[in-house]
Each structure stands twice: as C-alpha cells, then as structure tokens.
Amino acid sequence: MKQLLIIFLLHAVAACSNTSPTGNVAFLKRVADIHGDILSQWTPVRQVSVHLLDPATGQKLATTQTNNEGNYSFGEIALPTNFRVEIEARILGPRINVWVNDGSVDKVPYRTRSDTGKLKIRIEEPYLAGAFNIVDLNLQLATLMDGLVDNSPPPKLLEVSWGPNNAPYCGSCYFEDQHLLDLAGTAGEEDGHDDSVVLHEFGHYVEFTWGLYDNPTGAHNLEYVIPTLAWSEGFATWLQGAIRQDPIYVDRRPNESIYSLDLETPPDSTKGTLDGQIESKLSEALVYGLLWDLSDAGDGDDDVADYSREEVLEVVLALKDGPDLGVGGADLVDFLNLWQCAHPSTSDLNTLHELLMAVDFPYETLPEPLCPST
C-alpha cells in the first residue's frame, strides 16, 4: 500500500510540473579589461518578456517575464507539441523604456527563439548577446534611478541602434531629438559589449530625460573645452563608473587597441581651468574626477569625501530647476552651487573645498550659494 501511495504521489507531481512549464534565459557577456583580455560569463536575461508560440501559426499563446535569475514560468498551462518560446531585446518600464535594433534601414529588432520543445535559451551569437547586454545595462541604470525619479508613466521609448554595419560618424552617440542611442558595431568596434561606452551614452539620456541637457556636441578628449561640454561629458563618464562601481573606463577599439580612463586619477594636465576663472574652459576629466571623489567612499578611498552616488545624482537631476550661474546652460558651477545648497554644513563645505583645491579649481571665486526656494 505504501509503495502504491508513493507511486501515486510521484505521478501527481510529474503531472503538475508538466502543466507549470518553467525555463531560463541567459546571454554570454563579453567584457574587456584594461589589457584587452576578454572576460566571458553567462549572465541571466532579466525582466524581459517571454512568449509561448503556437507551433503551427507562430501566434502568442501566453506571455510572462523573466526574473532576476533569468527564470520564467507560464503558470498552469499545457504545452503544445513542438512549441517554441521567443524573447526580444526590449524592456518597457518602470523607469526606462528601451528596445534594440540591428541598425539597418528596416530597424530589425533583436529577438530569438528556443529550439523546438525547449524552455532554455542560451544567447551566444555576439550581436544578439550584445543586444541583451545593452538591455541589462539599462536595468542597472534603472535600479540606480529608483527613488530619484518618478516611475509612472515611464519615459518615451529609447531606441538603441547597433549592428555589424553600424558606424556612426561620432563613434557612439546619443541623439536627443530622435530618442536614439547610436552605437558603433563594426568589427573591432563592438560597443554593445563595452559597458563603459553604453552607460556613458545612457548618461546623456538621463540628462535629457530628467535633468538639464545643454551639451553643445563637438570633439572632446580631455582637453579644455567649453564648460557645458565638459560638464555633460564628464557627468556621463562619472555615471558609467558609478553604475559599474569601477573607476576604470574601458573602450575596445579596432586592431585590438584599448582606450581607457582612470576616474580616480585623472592626468595632471586636466587640472584647473584655462585661465583660472570659474567660467573658463576646462576638461571633462576634472568633472568626472571630482564627481568620482565625491561618491567613491569605501575601502581604498584616498580622499576626504563620504557621499553616495545617489546623493551626487540627485543634485545633478536638480539642475533642471536650479539657477544658471556659470556660463549659459548646465555646467560645473551650477552643480557646485546646488551641492552647497544640499550639503551646507561647515564640514561639507570644507570637504568640497579640499576636493576642489586638489584639482586646482578656483573655488575661492565661487559666488555665495543661490538655493532654490522650497
């Protein structure tokens, strides 16, 4: 009798599992280190819709979503014979809507299907995997934005264009008027796998969507440039490091070369302003170095600041409602003004002055803080 009961229970469990199909989705993440070595790791595809397809018509029979481990379930449903499941590199909300296409004229979205009768999907092809890497980086950004911006309604859909024939004149760049992030994808320039590059461009999207975006565009490579350009590019470089929690910016280039930046230790040549005035040209490196020093508290930190990345980002987003004190448009002077408003204690001000002295910024000529009324 006991044996029959055990057999009956096992049969019941098996029948139940057949009507609660579960699966898993992962992509092969490829990240280059500062030496150009590629580190590959299977990474869960998170918070992406999964569709159960009718084997005869291809129509969607059910839809669910992966969790943070890449697992999903269609609940109590019987699977048809020879079914397949499909996912697309697209996320809608709660904070950022994004989809990724191949950069062609037809803007073909990146999607893939499982093998027949399989619930597990492994995404290894470099461009398809890169598309889901872009989506995952978007989720990391959305996590940082949680609590800092309104979740409802989600902002307008951001299009990310990248593929083997994608070669923007600007390398990789964000076009605010088109809600488009255009990423280089030609051989040796596969920016969809360069986390630093993708998140830097997402930084411009953050400025435009929630903050104040006055980037005039133009060439920049740590040299002294007009303050609005230095601010926007410096902020975006800081943001990618803050999300990754890594001071080293890495961008793979053709011929296996590596372009890198160290946010913790910018070159001495990037200190100060062009003629010692707060409205003069300055380097984006001064901006990202200062923001990094404000927010990199932790083991091994060699500066006096002890603030969080959220505290820095909150002030950056507040620029949209703050006074315009430096040159026309968002710049470092505007940020420093609001930072002093948000952190007005003597200890806070001394910390800020010490950091500004370290980068030769003429803080002593800053005007008295002009704080928005509350």
Mean pLDDT of 131-155: 90
Task: Give the per-residue pLDDT at 48.
Answer: 97
Residue 104 pLDDT: 93
Task: Supply the pLDDT for residue 153.
Answer: 67
DSSP-derived pairing of the beta strands 71-73 and 60-65 = unpaired
Q: For residue 150, give the DSSP letter.
A: -
Give per-residue pLDDT as tens, 269-280.
Answer: 999 999 999 999
Residue 16, pLDDT score: 36
Alpha-carbon distance 49 to 59, whole Å?
A: 15
Amino acid (one-letter) located at 176? E
Query: 333-364 pLDDT, tens per residue?
Result: 999 999 999 999 999 999 999 999 999 999 98
Span 75-107, pLDDT tens digits: 988 888 899 999 999 998 888 899 999 999 999
Q: Spell out the alpha helix ranges (H) of 147-274.
A: 195-210, 227-244
**Residues in CB range of 273: below 8 A, 6 or more apart:** 224, 280, 281, 282, 361, 362
- pLDDT at residue number 345: 96
* pLDDT for the residue numbered 94: 80
pLDDT for 95 equals 86
Residue 224 CA, chain-centre distance (Å), reads: 26
Residue 241 has pLDDT above 60, yes or no: yes
Banded model confidence at residue 217, pLDDT cuts 50, 70, 90 = confident
- As a whole-number percent, the residues of the chain with pLDDT over 70 amount to 92
CB 61 within 8 A of CB 50: no
pLDDT (average), residues 157-186:
91
Q: Which helix (H) or strand (E) holds 44?
A: strand 38-44
**What is the model's pLDDT at position 41?**
97
Query: Radius of gyration (Cα) for the chain, nearest Å?
Result: 24
CA nearest to 160, candidates 135, 139, 196 = 135
Q: In the structure, what pLDDT confidence band is assigned to residue 367 with cuts at 50, 70 and 90?
A: confident
Query: What confidence score (pLDDT) does residue 268 get?
Result: 97
Q: Say whether pTM exceeds 0.85.
A: yes
Domains located in the chain, CATH noted: 211-374 (1.10.390)
Residue 154 above 60 pLDDT? yes
Are 90 and 160 within 8 A, CB to CB?
no
Confidence of residue 170 (pLDDT cuts 50, 70, 90): confident
Cβ(67)–Cβ(16) below 8 Å: no
Mean pLDDT of 188-217: 93
Residue 185's pLDDT band, with cuts at 50, 70 and 90, is confident
Task: Note the pLDDT tens digit of each residue in 289-300.
Answer: 999 999 986 545
